Amino acid sequence: MIRPAELIERKRNGEELPADALAELVLAYARDEVPDYQMAAWCMAVYFRGLSAAETFALTDAMVRSGETLDLRSVLGRRVVDKHSTGGVGDKTSIAVGPIVAACGVPFGKMSGRGLGHTGGTLDKLEAIPGFRVELTTEEFVAQVREIGLAIVGQSGDLVPADKKLYALRDVTATVDIVPLIASSIMSKKLAGGADAIVLDVKVGDGAFMKTVEDARTLSEVMLELGRRAGKEVVCLLTDMGQPLGSAVGNALEIREAVETIRGEGPPDFTELVLDACARLLALSDLGVDLAEGRRRAEAVAADGSALAAYERWVRTQGGDPSLDALERAPVVAEVVAERDGVVVDLGALAVGVAALELGAGRRAKTDAVDHAVGVVCRAKRGTVVSVGDVLAEVHARSGDAAAAAVAAVGDAYAIGDEPPRPRDVLLDVVS
């Protein structure tokens, strides 16, 4: 029988905890046998003392074992791939990646989450599609991946319950930003979800949780090690979140942009990230192709319409209407215009994300409702040359007052100067 107080004390003193004791602490907490105040104290001890690689793996493994796990390979007889993002502004990547990968003949099965704060959630975006069902049973999820090669659903309540409980505790005790706990939270869900190969999109910059490339690389290396220990292939893409990804920020707006990208007509930065992620997933699959061939195949299915057909088949299978005309539109559209000639030298992702949140596109608390129609479309990005009166962005709002407030906030997110900024690719680094 573990004594939580003893484990808290040992971690507070900087000791490395035995794997079995750490695992039992986590599992006991998931069974409500350890109170929140003791687990909060342990998290704070970890905040100051950290976890070793062995401790981080023991924590991750215990969280996986706290609930059900999926073994998609044994059910489908195929290698299944998955993609995860650490969250950003305008990040609708999975919605475009899934159909492209599926159209290339590789099963794509993903359990996603909802947005909180300025970062949007994949499920919230998908629910902007009329009729789309994000809640499928495990059996329905597996059957759909088998039959059409693609499913994106909400996380099962029986999948990694320890992580759900521990994250809620960390959220209210100032112990979220600890690399071992972030890594174990992300990887426990990925490992329990049953994919063999995982591409992790680690966002870096103003609109991301990790503000520097160095911090993102540290997190990536921990997640890679967790994947290796669990026998999974993992690649981490460090990607720019210094400005919004693509143009659209807001649920229905992002669905439109994802569909445009699936048919080869998306914004350059978003298109590049989507195609790169697809190429890496295909190279990790059982197709036996390298990165260059994976990229070629991804581009081909976008160009010939088969990726769009895969998207429409997927949406219909989950009960939705794939027509873009079915997406709700906000009643008020207002423009943000340039007040001087020059070039956009900066576009703050966080400020745009918060503006979209204030419009109703996101939620401050988990119980908040989301307005799927509202948001921001950034027509000018970093490096765009503009003249006085040119449209920088569009605000999609429910009312004139809401639009006016958002126009001011988005206008403040833009910095216009005389000299163009140094070009920066959306893909900053790859850790594998």
Residues known to be catalytic: 84, 163, 170, 185, 189
Task: Kindly tell me the sign of the dihedral angle through the C-alpha atoms of 395, 269, 88, 90.
Answer: positive
Distances (CA, A) of 120 to 181, 243, 352: 21, 14, 12
**Residues 6 or more apart from 394 whose CB is under 8 A from it?**
333, 334, 335, 336, 376, 377, 379
CA distances from 374 to 90, 101, 260, 322, 394 (A): 13, 29, 19, 19, 11
90, 338 contact by CB (below 8 A): no
Return d(Cα 115, Cα 69) in angstroms, integer.
Answer: 24
| DSSP per position, 238-260 | EEE-SS-SSSEESHHHHHHHHHH
Q: Which two tokens stand for residue 60?
A: 């991750």
CA angle (149, 153, 159) in 5-degree steps: 110
Q: For residue 288, how many other CB atoms are within 10 A of its CB?
A: 8
Distances (CA, A) of 99 to 94, 173, 307, 326: 9, 39, 5, 19
Cβ–Cβ < 8 Å for 34, 28: yes
Helices 19-30 and 36-49, packing angle to 10 deg: 140
Neighbours of 422 (CB within 10 A): 8
10 Å CB burial of residue 73 (0-12, 13-18, 19+) is middle
| Inter-residue contact 290 to 86 (CB < 8 Å) | no
**DSSP per residue, 394-423:** EEEESSHHHHHHHHHHHHHHEEEESSPPPP
Nearest to 162 by CA among 48, 69, 45: 69
CB 353 within 8 A of CB 249: yes
Which of the 8 DSSP states describes residue 326? G
391-397 and 332-337 beta bridge pairing: antiparallel
